[in-house]
Every structure is written in structure tokens, then in C-alpha cells.
A and B are shown apart, each in its own frame.
Chain A
Amino acid sequence: MMRIWGTLLLVLAALTAAGESGPENWLKAAPGYRWSFPRDLAAHPDYKTEWWYLTGHLDPGDGGEAMAFQITFFRVGLTRQPPAQEKSAWATGDLVMAHAAVLDPATGHVFSEVVRRATPFLGGFGAPGDERLAWCRAPAGTDADWSLDFHEGQYRLRARDDRRGLRFDLRCGPGKPRVFHGPGGFSPKTADGTSGSLYFSETRLPVQGEVARGQEVVPVTGEAWLDREIFTDTLASGQRGWDWTALQLVDGRELMLYRLRGTKGGDDFSLGTLVERDGSTRTLSAEEWSWEPGRTWTSPRTGSEYPVDWRLRVPSAGLDLELEAIVPEQENVSEQTGIHYWEGAVRVRSAGDNGAAGRGFIELTGYGEGSRPPV
């Protein structure tokens, strides 16, 4: 049947080329959104796509080398008017896609993924007020669920893939107050503001929990970063992908920067947010910062060449930083969807004295053939 599926999907692709189209009636992310919590922690079925993106650095209790993790739940909307489920639980408006990764410098980077139709027994998203924000059954071969819960100001993240040796159970928060990117939490992705996302972060969430390290499960502590983005259109037709970074600096500040790259090279649109020690924020326009690629790494799996080290300057904030991938091999390759991107933990050093200035994550999308994100 998989071959039949394949054929069917090829035919669908052919029909696609013939220009068939469906209804486009999603809400678009726009300025003036009225945020409300905990409602906005839950899913937004009126928008086509959203994600709960948690990344963080972990210090094992056994004194081993620092580790890093990522877990992301994506809601991929199929229709704004989901079909009635009284006849079939498979009648759904959403796909649930989850990516999880653990970086242990000693053993390397492990990535795992799940793509499922949102059904009561395979995965889905909580309604406003539910403790469970998103969940899905673990990949085939593992008897577990992946989940993201929110209870009394604390997130709990669980992921497990026995076949790949990935497993963590972490509690995050509460930490610094939520930060809204862009005006009122609308983060534009083009200069004219016609596309963008509703975007907030929790930039410094204390973490404790446990992570599998080889055959053992070790206790960990650390700091995480939550990104929450809700949108219908992000990439404009002239954009190929984005570079994004989130840094937690030792001076108590945090920095989020992104730039959308044009299909013909160069930056199409950039923006950033500087979070002060007290949680106050300042939007950084493209002119206020610069980002220069350093060392590159070519993926043996996809052939994509990623700039994994960067020199970052934000003169107005007195920052001149060097970002260095902890290991270059931090590419996430999704076998189920064909998507590949680099999502890696980085060390942050001060360019002047080479002293440790913080830790962070970089996300690089749209590098190499067939890598333009479908958003």
C-alpha cells in the first residue's frame, strides 16, 4: 500500500502542477492581536500553522559534559473548518508533527520525529485550559507518548525514542516573564508586514529533569528557551529560508535575532529582540546588528552547506560575540517529510577577550536542495 500511496501522492502532485487549489480561509497573523494566557498557550485552529519550540542547555548531575535538547510540536492545519468527528476520529483538521533532538558531545547528536494525523489515540492538541498543550505517540518501536504539558507555571516535556536512544523528561520554569516579539507580539517577516507571525518567547526557563545518556538516565539542570509562533503565511515568495538565533548571555540578558534570506541571495528581512535583565525588551531593527558567517559544515546526508559559526555584532547593546557550534553535526533530517534544517547548540564568546559570554541555539533553514520550509 505504501507504493500505492506513493503513486497516489505523485498523482496529487501532478494535479498540483495543473494548478488545482483549495479554499484559503485561514486567519492571517496581524498586528493588534489580543494576547490572553493561558488561552494562548493552547492551539489556535484558526491559523494554519503554529509551534511550541523548546531548546535548552543541560548540565548533567554526574559532572559530565554539558548537553543540549530540542523539542518542537508543530500543528499543521489542513482546514479551518475541521470535519465533524462523530463518524470518524480520523476526520481531522490537523497534523501533529514533533521533532526532538539531544546533543551529547560525547556521543553526538540524535534526532527523532513523529508525524501523525491528530486523532484521539495518535496525537493532538489541548483546548484552552487543558494541561496538555500538545502530544503524540512516540515513533514506531517505542511504547510512550511525547508530550508538552503546562501546569502551575511550569512546562513538562517528555520525549522518548528507544530505537535511537533518545529520552528526556524535563520540567521547565517558571522563569523570566514572557517576551513578545515585534509590535504587540506581531513579528513581521517582510518589510511591508504582509506576512508574519504571532510570536512570544519565554527566554530563560530553569530546567530540571532527566535525560538518557547511553544506557543510563542522568539527572540534569539547565536553562531552556520557549518560542511560540502562530501564523498562516511566513515565508514570502521571494524568500528561501531563515537564520535564527536565541542567546542566553551570562550578563542576564537574552537576544533573539532572525533574518529571512532571499531566493536570490542576501537578506530579505531581519529583526531582533534584546531582553534586558529585568525582562524589558527592545526591538532591534536590521540596521542595528550584523551577522557574519564563519566556519561552514557540509552535511554528508543532504549535501547542504551550513554556516555553523557566526560573528554577531549589536553595537547599540555593546555586544560583539562569536557563536561557535558545540559540534557541527546538528542537522535535523526528517525522513517522513523530506525537510532538513540545522538546529544546533552554540557556545557564545566575547569577541574581545574570548571569554564565555553565554549559550544559545541557532536555526538555519533553506540550505541545500529541497530544503525550503513549507510555511
Chain B
Amino acid sequence: MIRFLARSLQRLVAQSRTLFVLAVIGVALGVASVVAIQTLNRGALLAFDGSVRAISGQADLSVLGVTSAFDEKLLADVLADPDVASAWPLCRLDAAVRGRPDLLLDLVGVDLLAPVPFPVEHSDEADRGGRNEIVRAVLEPGWVAITPDLASEYGWSVGDTLTVSSGSHSLTLHVGALVDFQSLEPLAPRTLAVMDIAQVQGFLGRRGLIHQIDLRLVEGADPERAAARLDTVLAPSAKVQTPEQRSQDAAGLLSAFRLNLTALSLISVFVGLFLVLTSVQASLARRRREFGLLRCLGATPRQMITLVVAETGVLGLLGTAIGIPLGYWIARQNLDAVSATLTSIYVLEGIDRLVLPPEVIILGLGVGTFGAMLGAIWPAREMSRRDTLRLLAPLTLHERAGRLSGRWAWTATALAVGSSGWFFIFGTGTRWGGFVYGALMMIALPLITPLLVRSIGSLVRPRSLGPGLSARNLVARLQTTSFAVAALAITVSMLVGITLLVGSFRATLSDWLEVTIRADVYVTTQSWVGAGEDAFLEPELLREIGANEAVEAVEQQRRLRIDTTDQRFRIWLSGIKTAGLPGTELSTRLPLLYGDPVEVARRLDEGEVMIGEPLARKGFLAAGDTLRMLGPAGPIALRIAGVATDYTSEGGTAFVTMETLHRYFPASPPNNAALFLRDGVDVERTVARLRSEYRDLPLVFRSNRDLRTEVLAIFDQTFAVTRTLQTLALLTALCGISLTLLVQSRERMGELALLRSLGARRAQIFRLFLGEGAAMGVLGLLLGLVGGLGLAALLILVVNRQWFGWTIRPDWPGADLAWQAALVLAATVAAAIVPALRAGLAGPEQLSRDDL
């Protein structure tokens, strides 16, 4: 059997090289999309994991503040616990590096003197130097150890200096040592930089505060009991977590982001599987005589199925072999965009390096090989069940498809009605409902395709060798053409669905920015993106900026990351001190989901809180309810004054006045400021002047226009991967169309020869095939448009609200859609060119008796 399989494969490749190559490419593209997305998804998690493991890998438990930092004296309480074997404090901050706008150092301050291994075995000279080097690391201002990778990337070496900033503070660092942290923890970020804790704390300007205490327990201690006991001792200002819990938290934060990408990549796989199915069917159709002969010679149906499935398995394996590296390459190309999304939207570690984890390779292998084999089983069974006579007769497969199209359409209708019924009665209540419903509808779409192709094609009455005949030919070859059309329809559904979603989202965001971004100039710091609440704007500096003659008033914002008391949500709590100018009152710019802005603003002044829509939806909270949060002095319960649309974070946001914030949290400088300029002042010129005036400080000035542009650029960056997936799916579908037509050009050699002998010119045959490509394109587009509208409605009205909590106003990005439709149509016609050229080669001499 194996020898026969090898020979059979050889013949298959030799006789239909293009067909084989297209099928392999189809599998490769499907596998590539899955591998790319899973590699990026894993990369996102591993980046956080690597950072946690690099810093806290040896720790059994980590103590973290309910806000980012907490009192260092808690270290003494941790050390006093009977199960604690050792504990060490950490001070952490993300520092911007002057002259390297894309680089944020992950500065970790450790107590370098805690486990002092006195170099007692060294000679006297070495002893003296050794102590002094440690002393230097502790005492020399700015001493830092960085990774050799980072050093070589930026051309730094020991002794070099670099200026970093956190908030409006700057510090000159001296590279004291190059330490290959990655040799210990391969996923340790290359941006990891270690300093003595005193230096980092001093740099932060937050005396007495640390960010983390890592601890090891004595052997045999129960981590959960120890964590519970420590939680009680350290409450309310700190909490205890295992490193695994911290990684799980990050995974939870990213779950919606990851799931969406995974769902999109699965559409590519789905399309890829169609391609395999088409290719197998094409191959079977072409080889039906060979199989008929084999059956005559005594081959059993089981042997035939095994042969076909094994052949497809090899094809799948080849596709996988290309798809896995291709997927990894695609992941690398999208690394920066995804990394930027993680940092800017989720405030997590950016992806420092990508690895291709074994589980992703196995997944790719499974999807490519077993997916292909799965796709081959149904056509192989169909073929094996036929009697020998039918196998030896032409076109039977298509007749059968024609007969079955009605039954499939009924199945599709039943599936669509059943899943809709299920979804609207039960599915809306579950987070997975939308995805399940979408998947079922995507299965229904191809099932209904054959009937639609047959019905539409049958309406056409061809009178000559023109487009009419092209359309009718789709019906004649229903089994292969309907699969190609279905694959294209699914791809177009995805294209249209995502385009509508992204277009609507962008338009909604743009409107939201219009309402909320009202100041003329926004001031923040270079480290704000990563350091968040630890990046402060010094009050004196703000006063100085506020005293500028162009500035009429300054608004301040401070942001804190805190947990709700049930620890289900880690939210951003913003305190806002308004500028106090007429026309800039909060009531004029609250993007409320419902309610009276004047009333909500009044309630905010009275100490209530306004929450963002994602938190309201995920936490089932509404105006009048109470938001309960963990504060450094104990739980905080604030009445919710209103719910506002908010697109800054899917994790949840809440807003209070600065006065309310300082009632519950220690006063500290703001993180951001907004400037309202005097009437008649040129905003862009003022921004340019401020930038020039403060060029030596790590400040970032943006005009209102710049800020909106940047927010939308971040938005576009977030969807960069989606566009890649769309392209992959489209390429796969185009492969399907090309492959279908190629198969037909071969399969219909007799028919074409007859047409040629009846006087058809080569150009007419060429146009006939081109027409078939175009007809498939049009049908796929029409079906896809319907599917896409449904998908968009599902994504906008259900999935986004359930998973992200965002209300998106449906918008119709007509130009984008028209452009995409034209592109798809042009691409399908282009995909038909090679098959059409091949078909045109058919001559009257290829006419056989059988064909008559």
C-alpha cells in the first residue's frame, strides 16, 4: 500500500503540478494564519510571563499593592510570618530613554545587599575590589546593569551613560555591568535593567514606597494558607498573589483580544479546509477512471478511502511544512503592531522576542495535516460508494451535487433557523454565544451555496459562447464551483464583517474624541505609556507651564490602577481637576450612555463616581449602584453617578474629581495635564514653542489635533493583524477559485475540444473561463456581502459588547467596501487567467470518442 501510495503521489504531482501546488499553498496559508496568531498570542502571554518569571521566578508568592506602590515597612510584616523563609523588596518602573523614543527600560530596583556573598576566597586585592564593585553598584548614582542584547542593539557598553526619565524626572544612568539575564530566563525582556532599590526609589521620588515584595516559603508550607494569612496582615494596602495568579490575570486581561484573533485565524483555516476539499474533489473527479479501474481490479472501498486520505495527508504535511515558517514570519512582521497594542491598550509588557512554541507547531501540524485529511474523508467516502460504472462515467459527481444541493440548502436553513432561535433565546446570555452563533452561520453559508449557484445559474439562458454559458457552466460543475464560491463567500463575509466593524468603530471613536478631547494642548511624559501612574508631572513644572502667557487654564488628571473589592476587575481610576473655565465644565463633555450630564457632573462634585461602559457591562453596574474598590486605607464604596462610553481600556475605567481621589488615596502629582489656551492663540505655534522651551525635559506636548491623530493611529495599529488575516483568507480563497478553474480546464478538455471543433476560437474559450472566474467572484461577493452584514451585526451588537463592553455606532464605510469588492472581483478574474489560458490551449485533436 505504501509503495502504491508513493507511486500514486508521484503521478499526482507529475500530472497536475499546478493543482497540487495550489492545494499545498491553500493549506499553507490556512496553517500560516493559525500559527501566526497563536505565536503572537503566546508571545503576548510569554512576554508577561517572562517578565514575571525573570523577576519573581524563584518566588512562591508576591506581595503587590492595591495601587501600584505600597509602604516598604510591610516588608517587616512579611518577614515576621512563620512560613516565610525569605523576602525581598522590589521597586519597578518603566523609564523612557532620551533619544530612543521606542525604548522603555524595565527598571527593577532590588536590594543588592540582601544576600551578600562575601568573596572570602579571593585574594586580598580581589576582595577589596569585589566589595567596592558591590558598593559602587549600591552607591554610585545611576549604576545600572543591562542585558548584552540591549547593549549591542543600542551600541552601549560598560561605562556609557544614558539619560532616562520617569514622569518629569530625569536621571543619568551609568552602564555598570552587562548581565545576561536571558541566559537564566530565556523570556526575560531584553529591556530589563537592574539597579539598587535605593536608586530606583530615589528616582521615582516616592520615599517609603515599593512596588512588590517577593517571598519564598519554608519547605512544606501551604502557599494558599500563607497567602491568606499574609493577605489579612497586609490588608488593606497590599495583597498577595502567586506568580501563576499574576500570569493568569494577564491572560484574563488579554482574553478578549486573543479570542478575537483566534476566531479570525480560524476563518482562514475554514477557508483553507474548503480549498483542500475542493482540491481532493477535483483530484477525485479527474482520477475517477483510475479509481474505477482499481475497483474493477478488486480494491475495496476502505482501501480507496485510505489511499485518498493518505495522499491528502501528505499534501497537508507539505502545506504545513510551508505554513509553519510562513506563519512565524507573518507573526514577526506583525510583532511591532501587536506589541504596541499590548503596551498602549493593555499596559502590559510589549513582546520582546518571539518564539515558536512546540504546542503551536503541534497545532499547525494538526490543523494542516489532520484538517486536510478530514477534508478528504467526505469526498473519498462518496467516491468509494459509487459503483464502478458510474466512476467510469464523466460528470457524475456534479450531477450528484446538483441533486444534493436542495438537501444541503434545507440543512443550512434548519441550521440557520435553529441557531438563530438558540442564540436569541439562550445564546445572548453567554459570552460564547456570539462566537458559536457566528460559527454556525458560517457553516450554513457554504451549505446553501450550491442551491444558490444552481438557482442563479439556471436563470441564465446562454445563446452563445459568452457570459451566459460561463454562468451555466458553474451549474454544470456544481460540486467544485460551489465549494470555491462558498470559500470566497466566507472570506468576503469576513472581509465585509471586519471592514464594517473597524469602520464603525473608527467613526464611533472619532465622534467620542470630538466630545471628550476639548483642551487645546495635552501635556504628558515620555514614560507615561509604560509607567502609567508612576509617571508624574511635577507640580512646580505644571505651575510654570500654566503661567505661560498663552495658557489660560490647566486641567490635571491622575490615574491609578486598582482592583474592585471582589478582585474581578482591575480598573483605571482617574481623578480630574477641571480647569474651571466657562465652557469646559465636565457637564459639557461627559459622553454619557444615558442620563443628564448636568446632574452627573453635580454628583461627581459631591464625591460620586462615573464609570466607563466596559466596566458597567462586565460588572452589571448602572447609575445608582455602588462601585466597590480596594483602597490603601480600606475598601472604598462610591455611588455611581453615571455611565459613560469609554474606549481607552477594555479592562474598565472610573472617573472621580481630584478632590474625591485624594480623599481615598495619598495625594500625589498628576500624570497628565491639559491646557486651555487664551482666545486667539495659535495652538500649533504654542505647541511648537512649548516643545522648544522644554526640550531638555522628558515632556510630550500634543495639540488637540495631534492627539486625535495619534489615538486613531493606535486604533489602526490595533487592527493591523486583522488586515493580515483578511489578506491571508482572501489569498486562500483566490487559490480555491484558480484551482477550481484549473481542474475544470483539465476535466473539460473533451468539451473544450468539441467547442473548438465546432468553431470556437481560443479567445472565446479564454473569455469563457474568465467569465466563469468572474461569475464565481460575483456570486461569492453577493453571498459574502449578506454573510458579512450578518457577521458585522454580530460583531458590533453582540461580541464587542459582551467581550469588550463597547457600544459601537454602526457606520457604512462605503468607499472601503466598494474598493474591496472591486479588488475581490479583479482578483478572482486574475485567478482565472492561468486556467483560462490553459483551457484555451485545448485543440480539436483532443476530442475523443468518449466525449461524443
Complex: chain A residue closest to B181, CB-CB:
A4
Chain B residues with CB below 8 A from A237, complex form: 124
Q: Does A191 contact B (CB under 8 A)?
A: no
B180 and A12 contacting across the interface, CB-CB below 8 Å: no
Contact A121 to B85, CB < 8 A, known contacts A3-B58, A8-B179, A374-B118: no
Chain B residues with CB below 8 A from A83, complex form: 139, 198
- Chain A 1-18, CB-CB to B under 8 Å as 1, else 0, gives 111110111011101111
A137 and B111 contacting across the interface, CB-CB below 8 Å: no
Q: Does B202 contact A (CB under 8 A)?
A: yes
- A20 to B127 Cα, complex, angstroms: 11
Contact A2 to B58, CB < 8 A, known contacts A7-B179, A12-B177, A22-B132: yes
A88 and B207 contacting across the interface, CB-CB below 8 Å: yes
B130 and A13 contacting across the interface, CB-CB below 8 Å: yes
B137 and A141 contacting across the interface, CB-CB below 8 Å: no
B120 and A371 contacting across the interface, CB-CB below 8 Å: yes
Cβ of B580 to closest chain A Cβ, rounded Å:
33
Q: Does A115 contact B (CB under 8 A)?
A: yes
Cβ of B297 to closest chain A Cβ, rounded Å:
67
Cβ of A95 to closest chain B Cβ, rounded Å:
6
Cβ of A134 to closest chain B Cβ, rounded Å:
17
Complex: chain A residue closest to B214, CB-CB:
A1
Contact A1 to B122, CB < 8 A, known contacts A117-B113, A141-B83: no
- A139 to B114 Cα, complex, angstroms: 12
Chain A residues with CB below 8 A from B208, complex form: 89
Q: Does B613 contact A (CB under 8 A)?
A: no
Binds B, one of A38-46, A178-186, A322-330, A336-344: A336-344
Chain B residues with CB below 8 A from A1, complex form: 54-59, 88, 90, 108, 110, 214
Interface residues of A in 21-36 (CB under 8 A from B): 21-24
Contact check: which of A86, A162, A372 meets B207 at CB < 8 Å?
A86
Chain B residues with CB below 8 A from A91, complex form: 198-199, 202
Q: Does B125 contact A (CB under 8 A)?
A: yes
Cβ of A369 to closest chain B Cβ, rounded Å:
7
Q: Does B663 contact A (CB under 8 A)?
A: no
Chain B residues with CB below 8 A from A5, complex form: 110, 112, 114-115
Q: Does A87 contact B (CB under 8 A)?
A: yes
Contact A21 to B207, CB < 8 A, known contacts A3-B58, A141-B82: no
Contact check: which of B59, B132, B194, B196 meets A20 at CB < 8 Å?
B132
B129 and A8 contacting across the interface, CB-CB below 8 Å: no
Which of A4, A5, A89: most chain B CB closer than 10 A? A4
Q: Does A234 contact B (CB under 8 A)?
A: no
- A24 to B82 Cα, complex, angstroms: 41
Interface residues of B in 131-162 (CB under 8 A from A): 131-139, 145
Contact A3 to B145, CB < 8 A, known contacts A21-B128, A137-B79, A373-B120: no
**Chain A, interface residues (CB within 8 Å), range:** 35 or more
Q: Does A216 contact B (CB under 8 A)?
A: no
Contact A16 to B55, CB < 8 A, known contacts A83-B198, A115-B114: no
Chain B residues with CB below 8 A from A142, complex form: 80, 82
A79 and B135 contacting across the interface, CB-CB below 8 Å: yes
A16 and B120 contacting across the interface, CB-CB below 8 Å: no
- A22 to B119 Cα, complex, angstroms: 16
Contact A370 to B121, CB < 8 A, known contacts A11-B145, A117-B111, A336-B116: yes
- A140 to B230 Cα, complex, angstroms: 13
Cβ of A91 to closest chain B Cβ, rounded Å:
4
- A144 to B81 Cα, complex, angstroms: 11
Complex: chain A residue closest to B197, CB-CB:
A90
Q: Does A63 contact B (CB under 8 A)?
A: no
A20 and B136 contacting across the interface, CB-CB below 8 Å: yes
Q: Does B747 contact A (CB under 8 A)?
A: no
- Chain B 63-107, CB-CB to A under 8 Å as 1, else 0, gives 000000000110110011111111110100000000000000000
Cβ of A302 to closest chain B Cβ, rounded Å:
12
Chain B residues with CB below 8 A from A86, complex form: 207
Q: Does A78 contact B (CB under 8 A)?
A: yes
Cβ of A269 to closest chain B Cβ, rounded Å:
16
Which of A23, A369, A374: most chain B CB closer than 10 A? A374
Q: Does A122 contact B (CB under 8 A)?
A: yes
Q: Does A151 contact B (CB under 8 A)?
A: no
Q: Does A301 contact B (CB under 8 A)?
A: no
- A85 to B135 Cα, complex, angstroms: 16
Complex: chain B residue closest to A18, CB-CB:
B129
Chain A residues with CB below 8 A from B115, complex form: 2, 5, 9, 115, 336
A7 and B184 contacting across the interface, CB-CB below 8 Å: yes
A121 and B198 contacting across the interface, CB-CB below 8 Å: no
Chain B residues with CB below 8 A from A78, complex form: 113, 135, 138-139
- A5 to B136 Cα, complex, angstroms: 15
A16 and B129 contacting across the interface, CB-CB below 8 Å: yes
Contact A12 to B133, CB < 8 A, known contacts A141-B83, A237-B124: yes
Cβ of B832 to closest chain A Cβ, rounded Å:
60
Contact A90 to B121, CB < 8 A, known contacts A1-B57, A4-B54, A78-B138: no
A88 and B201 contacting across the interface, CB-CB below 8 Å: yes
Cβ of B534 to closest chain A Cβ, rounded Å:
15
B205 and A7 contacting across the interface, CB-CB below 8 Å: no
Complex: chain B residue closest to A118, CB-CB:
B113
Chain A residues with CB below 8 A from B706, complex form: none
Complex: chain A residue closest to B119, CB-CB:
A13
- Chain A 202-241, CB-CB to B under 8 Å as 1, else 0, gives 0000000000000000000000000000000000010000
Chain A residues with CB below 8 A from B112, complex form: 5, 8-9
- A92 to B111 Cα, complex, angstroms: 11
Q: Does A163 contact B (CB under 8 A)?
A: yes
Chain A residues with CB below 8 A from B83, complex form: 141
Chain B residues with CB below 8 A from A352, complex form: none
A140 and B85 contacting across the interface, CB-CB below 8 Å: yes
- Chain A 120-159, CB-CB to B under 8 Å as 1, else 0, gives 0110000000000000011111111000000000000000
Q: Does A266 contact B (CB under 8 A)?
A: no
Q: Does A19 contact B (CB under 8 A)?
A: yes
Chain A residues with CB below 8 A from B218, complex form: 141, 163
Cβ of A122 to closest chain B Cβ, rounded Å:
7
Chain A residues with CB below 8 A from B82, complex form: 141-142, 162-163
Contact check: which of B114, B127, B133, B214 meets A117 at CB < 8 Å?
B114
A338 and B120 contacting across the interface, CB-CB below 8 Å: yes
Complex: chain A residue closest to B180, CB-CB:
A7
Contact check: which of B84, B88, B90 meets A141 at CB < 8 Å?
B84
Chain A residues with CB below 8 A from B57, complex form: 1, 3
- A2 to B81 Cα, complex, angstroms: 20
Chain B residues with CB below 8 A from A13, complex form: 119, 122, 130, 133
Contact A137 to B76, CB < 8 A, known contacts A21-B128, A87-B205, A88-B197: yes
Chain B residues with CB below 8 A from A162, complex form: 82
Complex: chain A residue closest to B201, CB-CB:
A88
- A100 to B197 Cα, complex, angstroms: 28
Q: Does B126 contact A (CB under 8 A)?
A: yes
Q: Does B680 contact A (CB under 8 A)?
A: no
Chain A residues with CB below 8 A from B202, complex form: 87-88, 91
A95 and B116 contacting across the interface, CB-CB below 8 Å: yes
- A21 to B81 Cα, complex, angstroms: 39
Contact A19 to B113, CB < 8 A, known contacts A12-B137, A370-B120: no
Q: Does B178 contact A (CB under 8 A)?
A: yes
Question: A residues within 8 Å of B by Cβ?
Answer: 1-5, 7-9, 11-13, 15-24, 78-79, 83, 86-92, 95, 115-117, 121-122, 137-144, 162-163, 237, 336-339, 369-374
Q: Would you mind naming 23 contact pairs between A and B with Cβ atoms under 8 Å apart?
A: A1-B54, A1-B59, A1-B214, A3-B58, A4-B194, A7-B181, A8-B177, A12-B177, A17-B129, A20-B133, A22-B135, A24-B128, A83-B198, A89-B72, A89-B198, A89-B208, A115-B114, A140-B84, A141-B84, A338-B117, A338-B118, A370-B121, A374-B127
Please give 9 more A-B residue pairs, beta carbons under 8 A apart, in addition to A8-B145, A117-B111, A237-B124. Answer: A1-B88, A1-B90, A4-B181, A7-B183, A7-B184, A9-B134, A16-B119, A20-B129, A138-B79
Nearest first, the 4 A-B pairs at minimum CB distance are A22-B132, A143-B80, A87-B202, A16-B130
